[in-house]
């Protein structure tokens, strides 16, 4: 169990930032730093979509002594809890870290979690049995961003191209390999770039396309599309059907024209962003975290975060999960 009491020096940059936000936004004054319970949320690279979401959740559930917004028990997590967002390589690394108890909780793609609990794909022969879910948060669309000058209009036309599939231990890399297999795309030259690096390489003509899994709109994708440097490749047809049939945690979706000022709707597939936790985390702590996430007083804070967070809903949170709910979270949903 990674839960522990920590001094201020152990909070790290993200934790200090979260507490600074609490004070700067008028949520209250921290009067005592004597005792705290640290609670980490592993996210992804600082340039990705998970990190700002993790920061927003950490600020919402943290309950330092003396913070005025936590005067009602249901608004924040347990008294004394300091949640911090930590950077990480992404979903696959997060799943392994949570299962091993190296981190309290994390954000991860539902399709990656589905493979982890079944012990298949990159987790073959190593079922991750200690994963539990706090909540399904919001959908994450699979983006295939192709260089306009590469004239790639279908997934099949990625054959023989230079493609970045995301960092090696990221959920994007796991999903990208699955897409390429389903469409039987061969002869590709793969690289494991961060999203920022992939975008720069695309602009420079050093790669032909890159994958990104995240809740639309993605700022760097938006910039490439707006400049006419890139196009979105649709994920549809027989390959999409194979993906859905063979992979739990993927479902049909589309990216509307309004999302990126597109000429037409782009069909794709989505997975779900999950907040996962180790099964040994205390039920009362997880109950309080879940209750705080969905407290009506916190709705405005969710909507001030990244756009994807506006889709977080207590109704969808316990639905269609690839792993069991943590007993603390299950208690909250049952009581509600």
Q: Helix, strand, coil % (nearest 5) of the chain?
A: 40, 20, 40
The reported pLDDT for the residue numbered 157 is 97
Confidence grade of residue 28 (pLDDT, cut at 50, 70, 90): very low
State CA 171 to chain mean position distance.
Answer: 9
Q: What is the pLDDT of residues 244-253, one digit of tens each?
A: 999 999 999 9
What pLDDT sits at residue 329? 98
Task: Look at 5 and 262; give whichever has higher pLDDT.
Answer: 262
Average pLDDT estimate for 288-298: 96
Across the chain, what does the average pLDDT equal? 90
Span 277-293, mean pLDDT?
Answer: 97
Residue 162's pLDDT band (cuts 50, 70, 90):
very high
| pLDDT at 310 exceeding the cut of 50 | yes
Tell me the per-residue pLDDT of 227-238, one tens digit each, with 9 for 90 and over.
899 999 999 999
Measure the N-to-C terminal CA separation of the chain; round to a whole number of Å: 28
pTM greater than 0.85: yes
CA–CA gap between residue 148 and residue 335 (Å, rounded): 52
In the chain, domain spans: 4-138+274-335, 140-271
| Residue 27 pLDDT greater than 50, yes or no | no
pLDDT of residue 35: 65
Whether 31 has a pLDDT exceeding 50, the answer reads no
Q: Do domains 4-138+274-335 and 140-271 have the same CATH topology?
A: yes
* Domain covering 140-271 assigned CATH 3.40.190.10 in the classification: yes
Q: What is the pLDDT of residues 191-217, one digit of tens each?
A: 999 999 999 999 999 999 999 999 999
Predicted local distance difference test score (pLDDT) of residue 15: 46
Give the homologous superfamily in CATH for domain 4-138+274-335. Answer: Periplasmic binding protein-like II (3.40.190.10)
Tell me which H or E stretch contains 164. strand 162-164
Residue 19 has pLDDT above 80, yes or no: no
DSSP letters for 245-308: HH-TT-EEEEE-HHHHT-SS-EEEEEEEEEEEEETTS-HHHHHHHHHHHT-GGGHHHHHHS-GG
Which residues on adjacent β-strands are paired with residue 253? 268
pLDDT at 14 over 70: no
Average pLDDT over residues 318-332: 97
Residue 77 has pLDDT above 60, yes or no: yes
Q: Find the mean pLDDT for residues 250-277.
A: 97
Q: In angstroms, rounded to a whole number, what is the distance separating the alpha carbons of residues 327 and 336?
A: 14
Percent of the chain with pLDDT over 90: 82
The answer on pLDDT for 73 being more than 90 is no
């Amino acid at each position: 169990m990674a839960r522990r009491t920590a001094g201020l020096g152990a909070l790290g940059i993200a934790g200090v930032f979260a507490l600074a936000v609490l004070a700067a936004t008028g949520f209250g004054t921290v009067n005592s730093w004597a005792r705290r319970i640290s609670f980490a949320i592993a996210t992804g690279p600082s340039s990705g979509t998970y990190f700002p979401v993790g920061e927003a959740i950490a600020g919402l559930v943290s309950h330092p002594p003396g913070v005025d917004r936590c005067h009602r028990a249901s608004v924040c997590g347990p008294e004394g809890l300091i949640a911090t967002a930590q950077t990480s390589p992404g979903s696959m690394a997060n799943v392994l870290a949570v299962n091993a108890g190296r981190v309290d909780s994390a954000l991860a793609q539902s399709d990656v979690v589905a493979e982890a609990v079944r012990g298949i794909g990159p987790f073959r022969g190593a079922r991750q049995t200690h994963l539990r879910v706090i909540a399904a948060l919001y959908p994450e669309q699979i983006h295939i961003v192709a260089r306009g000058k590469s004239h790639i209009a279908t997934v099949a036309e990625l054959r023989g191209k230079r493609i970045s599939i995301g960092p090696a231990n990221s959920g994007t890399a796991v999903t990208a390999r699955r897409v390429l297999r389903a469409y039987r795309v061969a002869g590709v030259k793969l690289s494991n770039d961060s999203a920022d690096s992939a975008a720069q390489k695309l602009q420079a003509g050093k790669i032909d396309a890159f994958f990104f899994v995240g809740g639309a709109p993605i700022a760097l994708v938006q910039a490439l599309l707006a400049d006419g440097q890139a196009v979105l490749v649709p994920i549809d047809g027989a390959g999409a059907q194979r993906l859905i049939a063979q992979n739990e945690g993927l479902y049909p979706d589309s990216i509307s024209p309004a999302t990126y000022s597109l000429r037409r709707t782009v069909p794709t597939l989505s997975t779900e962003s999950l907040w996962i936790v180790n099964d040994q985390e205390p039920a009362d702590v997880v109950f309080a975290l879940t209750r705080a996430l969905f407290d009506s007083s916190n709705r405005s804070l969710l909507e001030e975060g990244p756009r994807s967070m506006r889709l977080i809903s207590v109704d969808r949170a316990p639905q269609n999960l690839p792993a069991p709910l943590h007993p603390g979270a299950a208690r909250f949903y049952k009581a509600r």
